[in-house]
Amino acid sequence: MPKIYERSEKMGKLNDGKNKKVRKYTDAKTTANKQSAGFQIASLDLPKGVNSFYFKKEGMYYLDVLPYTAGKNNPMADEGYDHWERTYWAHRGVGAENKQYCCLLKNWGENCPICEHRQELERRGASEDVIKALWPKKRQIMAIIDVEDKDKGIQILEGPYAFGLGSLIDNKIDAAREGSPVTRFYHADGGMTLAVKCKSEGFKLKDGGSGKFLKPVNLEMEPRETNYEDKDVPCLDDLLKKPDYKKLKEVFHKGADEDDDDGDTVDEVEATTPVPTNNETEVEFEVGEKVKHSKYGVCTVLEIKNGKLKLKDKDGDTHRAIDPSEVSTYTPEPEKKPEIQNLSKPKRSAVTDDEEE
């Protein structure tokens, strides 16, 4: 409820004592809370009382990532183990409202109408750009505490992997020595606080418009004292909203909305997290992937920074600032004829997984 402030006698006198008016000020803090509460991620179902976290402006953020106990079919963690993120795949910019939907094929191994459409277009020889836009994108969910806004409790951070916080964390872990506290950053007790620097970057919209989004560009980890053993962290596996095949097909093909149950709040989300076109800045590779370089042969991608790759060749030598155009996806086996069953593990994972927001 907004707090009500009455103008004081003194204020009234400044106004000649006449027209003494009782003003009702809204509480700025309450408004801000309402705004963030209205921010919903269309592909997720958040538990009641748990808000989503998003970067609001350029600057530093201090976040504690909390562990949750992995459920069944978690792609990165065995059931029962404590883990720090949930990787999942979503189709972006679906339907007239440009919403984000979980991919039925990549997440659950079931028929997905959007993936089926993509296969059909591939068979018909559609352009690479059109097909690329239909691949599900690799995204991540984390349960975090904003150290500078602890009152909000556990919040859910959702974002792309390749250009999001997840790849920054993986780079840090890769670079850390074995046994380093960095590798335990998400432990409830003895974890670390993530110091994340966010910068505003431009993007282009499908309709030709453009705008800016906030991208985490640097990450440091600081030791933390806070013990979160008493926190009840929701199982992130349970947050994925599984779409109904028929409804998703309808939304996708007709460009209509799924239903009106979500209310207007979802529209706000799409306004703040716009879907870019198949932008030119997209790097079609991901960290850890094997690629083929004309000069250095088969290499592993160590890092992707400012659209350039850092590679390690088979002799262990590293090569920096490699332009993605110099390398191609490494496929150890000859390409097979595409089959529907094979799509759960697409060969061209680079196209699948990398996207600049």
Smallest distance from Zn ion to CB 98, Å? 16
Smallest distance from Zn ion to CB 119, Å? 10
Q: Nearer to Zn ion by C-beta: 109 or 211?
A: 109
Dig out the tokens for 73 from the structure: 């079919």
Residue 248 found at the interface with Zn ion (CB under 5 A): no
Smallest distance from Zn ion to CB 90, Å? 9
- List b or e across 60-86, with b for residues whose CB sees 16 or more CB atoms inside 10 angstroms: ebebbbbbbebeeebeebeeeeebbbb
> Nearest-CA neighbor of 24 among 4, 42, 51, 47?
4
As a whole number of angstroms, the distance between CA 100 and CA 273 comes to 10
From the CA atom positions of the chain, what is the Rg in Å? 23
Residue 115 found at the interface with Zn ion (CB under 5 A): yes
Smallest distance from Zn ion to CB 7, Å? 58
Number of amino acids touching Zn ion (CB under 5 A): 6
Binding range to Zn ion, per CB under 5 A, among 106-114, 172-180, 245-253, 326-334: 106-114
Residue 105 found at the interface with Zn ion (CB under 5 A): yes
As a whole number of angstroms, the distance between CA 219 and CA 168 comes to 6
Smallest distance from Zn ion to CB 115, Å? 4
Among 42, 70, 103, 269, binds Zn ion (CB under 5 A): 103
Query: For residue 308, what are the CA distances in angstroms to 170, 203, 302, 316, 324?
Result: 17, 18, 11, 19, 6
Encoded one letter per residue, x for contact with Zn ion by CB under 5 A and - for no contact, window 61-100 reads ----------------------------------------
As a whole number of angstroms, the distance between CA 160 and CA 139 comes to 4
As a whole number of angstroms, the distance between CA 257 and CA 251 comes to 6
- For residue 137, give the amino acid letter: K
Encoded one letter per residue, x for contact with Zn ion by CB under 5 A and - for no contact, window 122-151 reads --------------x---------------
Which residues of the shown chain bind Zn ion in the complex (CB under 5 A)?
103, 105, 112, 114-115, 136
